[in-house]
Every structure is written in C-alpha cells, then in structure tokens.
C-alpha cells in the first residue's frame, strides 16, 4: 500500500505511516527554505530519520509569481532509514500558482496539496501559465485539495503587531509551517525559539511570526477540514542510540577540515573565491576563527589556490574550494603542487555544467576533470563524499593523505550533498586517531629531495627552520639533489616516482567493502558520491523482492582500493549509476577490463529510487 | 646568554647554483646588490623567503641561499600572500617581471597592493618577455618591434609605478639595475616599510631590448633625464642643478622650469613629499624626453598591514569566544539524544 493510500485510509490506526515526503514550494521571496529547515529541525527532534533536498532557483529575486522564481524544499522522513529526499511527493505545499504548476507533476495521485487560495488571482494565474483557475476547473481532482485563504488569515492574525501589509504577508510561511506541524504532530518549540533568536532585535516581527505559526497550528486543530485530513503519525525511527544533530554537507565538511587540521596538528589557511554551490564552505569556516583557521577571500580562484599552496609551503595546511568552473582555473597551480610535492586540499562542490550550466543544480560531471583535468602526468588522490555527514570523515581522510604523502588531494562533493541535510550521530572527536605532521628540522644530510623510503613522501621543511634553507619550484628537479635538472633520465625517474607515490597510497586506504548484499553474485551496483542514497534504497528494495544485487560505494576514486578489481570480478554484471554521461564507468572499464554497464542522468536532479530499481531489474533481466 | 651570532656576509646569501642569465643581463647586478644587502638586516636568514613567478627575472630565488619558491607565471603575489598569512614572522620578497607582474599576474599585483600584504615586490622591468624570446610586453613603448609585433606594437604601455599607486600601494619606488648605490638604499627602505612595498627596477635585457634605459643610465645624459627624489627636498635636476619641477596650478600639472630664469627661484619648485599621493601620481607619469624620470621613493605612506589586521581580528574573536573545542562545536545548535 502506498504511503498516500495509508494516509487517506481514515480507518487505519490513527493514521500511522512509515514515511512521508513533504515539499514546500513558493516564490523565492516566500521563505520556503526557512520553512523547510524549521520543519526539518522539528522532525529530527521528533526522532524520524530524514533526508532533505533544497532546490532553489539561480535568480536571487526573480519576478514575483514567475515559474522560474519558484524555490522548493523537500523532506522525506520516516520510521525506517531514509537516504533520499524521496521520489514522489505525498504532501505539496504550494504558496502560489507558479509553485503549483511547477511541482504538481511530482505529487502522487491522491496526494495532499495545500495552497494559499488568495494568491490564485487572474494575474498570478496568467503569469504561471494557467488558462483557468485549477482550484475551480477540476484540474486537481486526482488529489486531495486544501485551499485556504492563508494571506487573509495571516494579515488578520498579525494585525495587533502593527506590521505593514508587506511585512504581515511575509509571515505566511510561518502560518503554513504551523499548519504542517499540526498535520504531522511536530513540536513548535524549536521554531519559536529560533524565531525569537533570529529577530531578537525586532521583537515585533518575532512575535508576529510566532503568532502566525501558532495560528496555522490552531487552524489545523479547529477548522473543519475535509475528511481524511487529520493528524498523521510517523513513528520515530529505530536508529542507533547516541547524540544527534542535523548537518548539511557544507557544515560537516567545514568541521571535518577543522578536525583534520587538529589531527595533523597543523593550522589551516582556507583560501577561496565565491561560487555557487561552494561558497557556503567559505562562509562557514569564516565563523570559526577561534580554531586554527585563517580564511581568505581571494580575488579569483587562481589566487585562492596559490595562496593555499603558499601557506602549505610555509607549514600550514592550505585548503581551497570551488565548483567546476573555478577548479578549471586552479588547474595549473594544482600541477605545481604535484611538482613541488606539497600538501594541498582542493574541494570541488560540483554543479551542473558545462560553463555556468545549472549553478544551483547538482551533477557529478567533474570526475574526469578531477582525475585527468590538468596538464602533464599529475595523478593525485581523489576522494568523494556520499552523504552530508560523510563529508566530515572524507575531509579528515583528505587531510591525512595530503599530509602523509605531501600531495594535493581533491575532494568531490556536489550541490546536493552540500545543501541537503541529514541527521548525524555526532562523533566523539576524542575517538579519532591523530596523525601529527613531523617537519624536518635536522640540517645534517638535509636535501629538499629527501623522501620517506616507504611512502615516497618528499621531506617537508618549513621556512623559519634554521639550516634548512632551500628552493623549490616548478622546473624539474634532480631526484638526488633537488636542484634544477633537465636531464632526460632524471625526468623519467621523477615522473615515475611521482606516479609510484600516488599509486602506493592504495596500500594505505581501506579495502573496498560492500554496503548491502553479498560480496559476489549476479549484479553489483557501483556508486560514488551523492547517488549513494538512491542506490542504497533501490538495492534494498530489490533485495527485499529476493533479487541478487549488491551495493558497492566507492569513496577512494584515485587510487582505487587495491581489492576493487577482484571484488567486481566476482559479480556477473556491474551497473554504475552516475549523474553524468558515464565517467566512473569508463574508469572501471579501462582499469579492470570489465564490461560495466551504466545508467546516467544529467537533469540537475538526483536519481529517484525508482529509476535505480528499474535499472537493476532491466540489468538482471538482460542477464537471463 | 646566547653566543653572538657570527656576522653573515653576502657569500652566505649566494646559493651554490650556477647563475644562468645571459652575459651582461641586468639581473646579475640586481642579484649582487641584494646578496650584499641582506646581511645588513636583522632578519635571521632562515626567516627570509624569495618567491617568484616565471620569467628570466623569476629565476632569482634559485640563486639566493634563503628559502625560495619559483612558482607559476604571474601568481607569485598570491603564493607570497599565503606564506605571509601562514607565518607572519617570515620576511617575504617577491621577484617578478613586467610580463609576470603586470600581464598575466596584473590582477594579483593589483590586489596584493591594495590589501597591503607585507611583502617586498620587486618588478624587474625590461619592457620585454625575456624568457619567451623577446615579445613586446605591457610596458613596451608604442612601436616596439618584436617577434609578435614585427611592424611595431600599437597598444599603450602601462607605467608600473602609476599602476601601483592607482592600486593603492603604500610604498612605491623606482631604481636602476646597475646602480647599486641607488638601488640598495631604495631596497632598504622597501624592506623597512611594513606593508606592500613596490619597487620598479629598470633592467637591461642585452639580448632582446638592449639599451632601452641608456638615456637614464648614461652618465652623459643622466643629469638631464633623471630626477632624484629625496623627501623634503625640492625637485631639482640638470648638469648644474639649474632646472626644477614646478606645479602649474592653473593646469594642474608639473612643468620643467629653469632656476633663475623668468623670475623662477628654488622656492617655486615642488618639494618632494613622499606622503602625498597626488604628487606621487604626477611624478610616476613623468616620462623622458619631455621630463626627467623620477627615481627613488615616489610614495611612502604606511598603513597597517593585512596580516596584522587578520590576526588582530582573530585574536579579538578568540578573546570573546573563549577556547576552541571541536567536540563542543559538533554539539552546538540543536541536537537530541536517542536512547
Ligand atoms: C601559463 C603560462 N603562460 C605562458 C608562459 C610562458 N612565459 C614564460 S615567461 C613569460 C614572460 C616573461 O616576461 P617577464 O615577466 O617580463 O620576465 P622576463 O623574462 O622579461 O624577466 C611567458 C609568456 C608560462 N610559463 N606560463
Ligand atoms: S633574455 Fe634578457 S632578461 Fe633574460 S637573461 Fe637574457 S638578457 Fe637577461
Ligand atoms: Mg620582462
């Protein structure tokens, strides 16, 4: 039985459902992201597992009522593990006709749609592209409609606070939030507290919003609503005990970098240039000056990466971050970091491309750039984050590898991971093993060409250390002395050593494991990055139907885990879902000579679970 | 008490690398002057860092027995910014060329100057791309014939000091490669100045642009073509110090006048004031042959350096926020316990 059938079944026990997908959609000025975040917080506190997907337009203030100005926030929450924001929407909150017309296609048949009927004016309807009013012409007959004059209600409620009409109307989102909280039995406490903090200096505004929130809730409690619309119970999920918080990928990445710096016992210099969806990391780290982090907004991406590299030369850990177009600009300096063998962290929060592409939408199309997108033979470690909270450990892992092997490390995240939020069982930082960097200090026998015989890492001697004055640079250096060398044999040797060092990292990373399913069998679905959630659920559902399929999620994209080839060879068939035209699948094919198959999607939207399920079934079918 | 450190000499600052500029290149003279100057400074040798981009001039760090980083074309100011941010105790020098610093790296030069990052930025201006075999550069005079402009260059050159002052530099000076007696004190001043110190050095490239600065270097013409700047002194030049620079207040421009002619006396001349930005801008624009070209410190008007402000702001925040605790940060904001 679908969730919605569950929900509309009044007889069912107090409307208990296992999981629900709610989407708030409105004008970019309607405050849908804030509404979504508040609802998420309340849901997390309630104890459901959840996953969110904020989807906002590239335009900052698109014309009011326009379809391209619609901003949406989707949340899936439930009593079982939730790893995606959901394929289809059960409850759609549409604040105007444009939000309705652009989001209705994702609502399940029989789903609940809540609209502000006051916004369905002739003008707004025309602007959204409606020929007639969908609230009256039967266009919504397949759904359950709750049309409320929200604007009027709100203006009425906040009147005593003396707000102008403009400000009064802005409380609409809180009214709607209140109603939605009633619908799912969420507590308003955190939201109320949040509003009072946010508007601490504008108490009238704060109280008006609180009033609106409560009024929305009261409306749910007291108004005569159509049958079948009443409080739904989504019981708390059975999750591992511990302390939880919500985190976005951006936050977890920022905290992971700080953690990595502490574990390496290195100060961090974070240099970046704003670009969507990567800027959040710069913003977040800029608020953490109490830690050993200096943040620097450079004049461009080239300056940012060069500043980070200069910091690494001077004995800090240089970190830079951008999205695809900015990473292109950093290429030459990343190669310099490879040549000079200094640690450097480069984070790519991928977005839809090429060029400006879809700056606010997600994609995984910079893998080739990460692996191959520089001049010359400059292989470097590439690791990917699969979920928002995964960013914490991935950042630490990047710092560990960069400092241990004295190499730039590229982290691939994406717009979905960066902005989506997820409950995170907060780790105890004391449980992490430190990996303090040892700088060279001994002048006897010192040469900038010295290497650790085991890891092949070049010596790191920082300026300020007496007796170790030396020069490094982009010109090829002698393997023996570190002096400039144009010798042909030396260049061969240095190229080989640089490659061997990176290849050798495979010995120091975890073996590839299987997320769910067996370590051999008919089909392995191999994912990397943010496709994790959809693959996980897709594989899980197929396995529940008795299908022989496993989920393998690769974090270390270069070098690959040393057992990956063996592991993959134990499956009859390999399927690689990617939000690009097929990049990792080519790596697997060429690396392991395996006839891996692909499923690709580049619409700017994450995979749906259903799409993965269908691909799995088609693939298994083809094996018969 | 520590035993007194042995006094370093210029040899201590020469690396063991064979210097590979063309014979007669002006870079040799600059290198020698700097190697001789370094022992004068209190800075411990290990705290000295030379950072360069790409070009003949940018090979400089390899020849200094200090810490050095030969980076990529045009980006030395950014790498140097990172070094200074990571360790403010380091004494960081940037060596760049007219192509490196003003063409590919023009953006970084602009920003490092306006940010006032505490660096000495030495721009070796030979008005050509030496390393890539003599193409014209952004400082080449109109009509320069080069492999890429066989019929003469067409675009207006940039005046490095004008650029630097326009960018907001707080220290701008100019000197000449082979004139150690002038160059050394200018570099000393640049070193003393806290913040970004920009020094343009006229540098001869005997291979691709030989003799372009002869007018100002040749003893026979130098008295007419150079204007030696000294803070608080009138702007005087000429074989017998018979000429000077006066401000034409009507037209708001500088003009050459003869002392004791047409009623002009020394009192009518502009007195050099290093802290006057408008004057510095006017001086930077003076070009031979219409004017003598100023050498020395055009502008020096210190302001707090970027790294100092960064750390001051951070210290203030730390004082307010108290000690950093990652576990506390992870547990900040809303959280809940599942039993
Ligand atoms: C990205 C990049 N583009 C182009 C070059 C080639 N290149 C090297 S040096 C140079 C110009 C150097 O001119 P300048 O800075 O005036 O130095 P000079 O050799 O005259 O001292 C150019 C174009 C390069 N090394 N890197
Ligand atoms: S090409 Fe010119 S600038 Fe370069 S080393 Fe030779 S003489 Fe010096
Ligand atoms: Mg040059």
Residues A77-114 have pLDDT tens digits of 999 989 999 999 999 999 999 999 999 999 999 999 99
Nearest to A258 among B79, B314, B326 (CB): B326
Q: Which ligand is nearest to the CA of A473?
A: 1
Closest residue of B to A291, CA-based? B324
Q: Which ligand is nearest to the CA of B100?
A: 1
Tell which one of B61, B125, B129 to mutate to probe ligand 1, the residue whose CB is within 8 A of the most ligand atoms: B129
Question: Chain A: residue nearest B105 by CA?
Answer: A303
Residue pair B91/B50 in contact (Cβ under 8 Å)? The answer is: no
**Which pLDDT tens digit goes with each residue over B233-288?**
999 999 999 999 999 999 999 999 999 999 999 999 999 999 999 999 999 999 99
Ligand 2 contact, B31 CB (< 6 A): no
pLDDT at A1 over 60: no
Min Cα–Cα distance to chain B from A349, Å: 22
Using a 10 angstrom Cβ sphere, with 0-12 exposed, 13-18 middle and 19 or more buried, the burial of residue B278 is exposed
Closest residue, chain A, to B71 (C-alpha): A473
A258 contacts on B by Cβ (under 8 Å): 326, 329
Q: What protein residues have CB closer than 5 angstroms to ion ligand 3?
A: B 97-98, 126
Token pair 């050159």 is found at: B157
Place of tokens 């063996």: A566
Interchain CB distance below 8 Å, A255 and B329: yes
B322 touches chain A (CB under 8 A): yes
Residue with tokens 């809940």: B336
Asked if pLDDT for residue A269 goes beyond 90, the answer is: yes
Residues 6+ apart with CB under 8 A from A501: A341, A405, A407, A455, A456, A457
Structure tokens at A577: 């879902």
pLDDT score recorded for residue A28: 84
Give the distance from residue A621's alpha carbon to the nearest chain B alpha carbon, in angstroms: 42
Contact A249, A419 (CB under 8 A): yes
Residue A354 is predicted with a pLDDT of 96
Beta bridge partners of A472: B69
Section B33-58 average pLDDT: 97
User: Which 3-state string (H, E, C) describes chain B?
Assistant: CCCCCCCCCHHHHECCCCCCCCCCCHHHHHHHHHHHHHHHCCCCHHHEEEEECCCCHHHHHHHECCEEEECCCCCHHHHHHHHHHHCCCCEEEEEEEHHHHHHHCHHHHHHHHHHCCCCEEEEEECCEECCCCCEECCCCCCCCCECCECCCCCCCCCCHHHHHHHHCCCEEEEEECCCHHHHHHHHHHHHHCCCCEEEEEECCECCCECCCCHHHHCHHHHHHHEEECCCCCECEECCCCCEEEEEECCCCEEEEEECCCCCCCHHHCCECCCCCHHHHHHHHCCCCCCCCEEEEEEEECCCCCHHHHHHHHHHHHHHHHCCCCHHHHHCCCCEEEEC
Q: CB of B21 closer than 6 A to ligand 1? A: no
Q: Closest residue of A to B112, CA-based?
A: A299
**Ligand 2 centroid to B134 CA: how many Å?**
9
Whether the ω angle into residue A578 lies within 30 degrees of 0, i.e. cis, is no
Question: In the prediction, which pLDDT does A3 show?
Answer: 44
Phi, psi of B49 (to 5 degrees): -130, 130
Residues 419-448 of A with CB under 8 A from B: 426-430
Preceding omega of A562 cis (within 30 degrees of 0): no
CB within 8 Å: A243 and B89: no
* pLDDT tens for each residue of A568-622: 999 999 999 999 999 999 999 999 999 999 999 999 999 999 999 999 999 999 9
pLDDT attached to residue B177: 98
Average pLDDT over residues B284-298: 97
Q: Are strands B171-176 and B293-300 parallel, antiparallel or unpaired?
A: antiparallel
Question: Looking at residue A60, what is its pLDDT?
Answer: 74
Characterize the bridge pairing of strands A597-600 and A571-578.
Answer: parallel
The pLDDT tens digits of the residues spanning A365-417 come to 999 999 999 999 999 999 999 999 999 999 999 999 999 999 999 999 999 99
| pLDDT tens-digit readout, B159-168 | 999 999 999 9
Contact B55, B129 (CB under 8 A): yes
List B residues 67-86 in contact with A (Cβ-Cβ < 8 A): 67-72, 75, 77-86
What is the percent of chain B where pLDDT is above 70? 99
Query: What gap in Å lies between CA A246 and CA A40, rounded to an integer?
Result: 8
Region A166-184 average pLDDT = 94
Say yes or no: B96 contacts chain A, CB-CB below 8 A: no
Whether B146 is in the pocket of ligand 1, judged by its Cβ within 6 Å, is no
User: How much is the pLDDT for A14?
Assistant: 58
Between CA B211 and CA B249 the distance in angstroms is 36
Going A57 to A59 to A61 to A62, the CA torsion angle's sign is negative
Given B70, B313, B336, which is nearest A473 (Cβ)?
B70
Q: What is the mean predicted confidence (pLDDT) over A426-455? A: 97
Percentage, residues of chain A above pLDDT 90: 88
Residue A537 has pLDDT above 80, yes or no: yes
Under DSSP, the state recorded for A184 is T
pLDDT of the residue at B7: 87
Q: Which of B6, B88, B336, B337 is the best residue to mutate to test the A interface, defined by the most A CB atoms within 10 Å of its own CB? A: B336
A 127-186 near B (Cβ less than 8 A) = none
Contact A101, A65 (CB under 8 A): no
B1 pLDDT tier (thresholds 50, 70, 90):
very low
Per-residue DSSP letter, A136: T
Phi, psi for B198 (deg, rounded to 5): -105, 125
| Segment A241-257, tens digit of pLDDT | 999 999 999 999 999 99
Is the pLDDT at B49 greater than 60, yes or no? yes
Q: Which of A245, A267, A271 sits opposite B334 (nearest CB)?
A: A245
pLDDT at B130: 97
pLDDT digits (tens, 9 = 90+) for A465-504: 999 999 999 999 999 999 999 999 999 999 999 999 999 9
Residue A56 DSSP code: -
The rounded Å distance from CA A124 to ligand 1 centre is 58
pLDDT level of residue A64 (50, 70, 90 thresholds): confident
Dist CA A309 CA A303 (whole Å): 10
Ligand 2 centroid – CA B18 distance (Å): 15
């Amino acid at each position: 039985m679908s969730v919605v059938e569950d929900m509309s079944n009044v007889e069912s026990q107090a409307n208990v459902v296992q999981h629900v997908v709610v989407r708030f959609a409105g004008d970019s000025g309607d405050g849908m992201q804030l509404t979504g975040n508040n609802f998420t917080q309340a849901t997390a506190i309630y104890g459901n597992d959840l996953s969110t997907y904020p989807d906002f337009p590239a335009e900052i203030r698109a014309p009011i009522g326009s379809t391209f100005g619609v901003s949406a926030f989707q949340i899936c929450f439930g009593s079982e593990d939730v790893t995606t924001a959901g394929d289809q929407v059960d409850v759609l909150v549409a604040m105007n006709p444009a939000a309705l017309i652009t989001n209705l296609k994702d609502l399940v048949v029989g789903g609940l749609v809540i609209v502000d009927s006051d916004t369905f004016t002739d003008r707004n309807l025309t602007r959204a592209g409606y020929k007639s009013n969908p609230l009256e012409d039967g266009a919504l007959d397949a759904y359950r409609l709750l049309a409320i004059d929200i604007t009027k209600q709100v203006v009425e409620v906040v009147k005593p606070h003396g707000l102008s009409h403009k400000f009064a109307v802005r409380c609409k989102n809180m009214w709607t939030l209140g109603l939605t909280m009633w619908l799912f039995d969420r507590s308003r406490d955190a939201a109320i507290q949040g509003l009072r903090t946010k508007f601490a200096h504008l108490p009238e505004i704060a109280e008006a919003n609180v009033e609106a929130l409560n009024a929305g809730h009261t409306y749910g409690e007291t108004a005569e609503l159509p049958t079948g619309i009443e409080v739904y119970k989504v019981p708390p999920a059975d999750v591992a005990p511990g302390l939880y918080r919500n985190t976005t990928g951006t936050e977890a990445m920022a905290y992971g970098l700080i953690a990595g710096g502490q574990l390496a016992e290195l100060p961090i210099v974070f240099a970046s240039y704003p670009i969507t969806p990567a800027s959040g990391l710069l913003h977040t780290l800029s608020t953490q000056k109490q830690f050993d982090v200096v943040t620097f907004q450079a004049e461009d991406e080239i300056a940012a990466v060069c500043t980070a590299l200069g910091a690494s030369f001077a004995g800090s850990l240089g970190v830079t971050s951008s999205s695809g177009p900015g990473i292109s600009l950093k290429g030459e300096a990343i190669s310099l970091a490879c040549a000079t063998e200094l640690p450097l962290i480069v984070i790519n929060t991928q977005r839809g491309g090429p060029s400006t592409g879809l700056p606010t939408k997600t994609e995984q199309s910079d893998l080739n750039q990460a692996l191959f997108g520089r001049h010359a033979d400059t292989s470097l470690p590439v690791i990917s984050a699969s979920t928002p909270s995964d960013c914490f450990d991935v950042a630490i892992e990047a710092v560990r590898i960069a400092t241990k092997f004295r190499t730039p490390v590229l982290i691939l995240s994406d717009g979905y991971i960066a902005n989506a939020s997820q409950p995170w069982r907060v780790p105890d930082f004391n449980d992490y093993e430190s990996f303090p960097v040892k700088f060279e200090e001994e002048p006897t026998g010192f040469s900038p060409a010295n290497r650790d015989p085991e890891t092949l890492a070049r010596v790191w001697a920082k300026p300020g250390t007496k007796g170790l004055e030396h020069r490094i640079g982009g010109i090829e250096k002698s393997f023996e002395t570190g002096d400039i060398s144009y010798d042909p044999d030396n260049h061969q040797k240095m190229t080989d050593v640089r490659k061997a060092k990176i290849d050798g990292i495979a010995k120091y990373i975890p073996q590839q494991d299987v997320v769910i399913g067996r370590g051999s069998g008919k089909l392995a679905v191999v994912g990397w990055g943010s496709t994790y959630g959809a693959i996980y659920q897709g594989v899980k559902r197929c396995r529940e139907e008795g299908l022989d399929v496993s989920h393998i999620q690769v974090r270390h994209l270069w070098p690959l885990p040393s057992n990956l080839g063996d592991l993959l060879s134990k499956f009859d068939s390999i399927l690689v879902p990617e939000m690009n035209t097929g990049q990792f699948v080519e790596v697997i094919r060429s690396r392991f000579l395996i006839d891996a198959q692909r499923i690709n999607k580049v619409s700017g939207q994450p995979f749906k679970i259903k799409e993965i399920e269908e691909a799995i079934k088609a693939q298994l079918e083809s094996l018969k | 008490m520590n035993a007194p450190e042995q006094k370093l000499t210029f040899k201590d600052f020469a690396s063991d690398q064979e210097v590979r500029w063309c014979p007669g290149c002006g870079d040799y003279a600059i290198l020698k002057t700097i190697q001789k100057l370094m022992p004068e400074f209190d800075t411990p040798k290990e705290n000295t860092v030379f950072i360069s981009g790409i070009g003949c001039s940018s090979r400089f760090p390899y020849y200094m027995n200090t810490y050095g980083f030969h980076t990529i074309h045009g980006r030395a100011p950014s790498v140097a910014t990172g070094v200074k941010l990571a360790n403010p105790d380091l004494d960081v020098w940037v060596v760049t060329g007219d192509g490196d610093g003003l063409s590919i790296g023009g953006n970084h030069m602009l920003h490092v100057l306006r940010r006032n990052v505490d660096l000495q930025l030495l721009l070796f201006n030979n008005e050509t791309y030496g390393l890539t075999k003599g193409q014209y550069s952004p400082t080449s005079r109109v009509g320069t014939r080069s492999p890429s402009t066989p019929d003469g260059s067409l675009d207006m050159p940039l005046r490095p000091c004008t650029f630097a002052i326009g960018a907001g530099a707080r220290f701008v000076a100019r000197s000449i490669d082979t004139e150690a007696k002038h160059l050394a004190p200018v570099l000393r001043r640049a070193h003393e100045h806290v913040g970004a110190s920009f020094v343009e050095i006229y540098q001869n490239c005997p291979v691709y642009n030989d003799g372009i600065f002869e007018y100002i270097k040749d003893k026979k013409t130098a008295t007419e073509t150079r204007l030696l700047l000294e803070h608080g002194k009138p702007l005087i030049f000429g074989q017998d110090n018979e000429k000077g620079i006066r401000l034409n207040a009507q037209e708001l421009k500088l003009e050459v006048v003869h002392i004791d002619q047409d009623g002009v006396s020394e009192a009518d001349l502009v007195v050099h004031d290093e802290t006057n930005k408008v004057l510095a801008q006017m001086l930077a624009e003076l070009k031979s042959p219409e004017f003598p070209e100023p050498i020395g410190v055009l502008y020096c008007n210190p302001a707090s350096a970027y790294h100092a402000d960064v750390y001051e702001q951070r210290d203030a925040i730390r004082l307010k926020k108290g000690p950093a605790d990652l576990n506390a940060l992870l547990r900040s904001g809303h959280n809940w316990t599942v039993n």
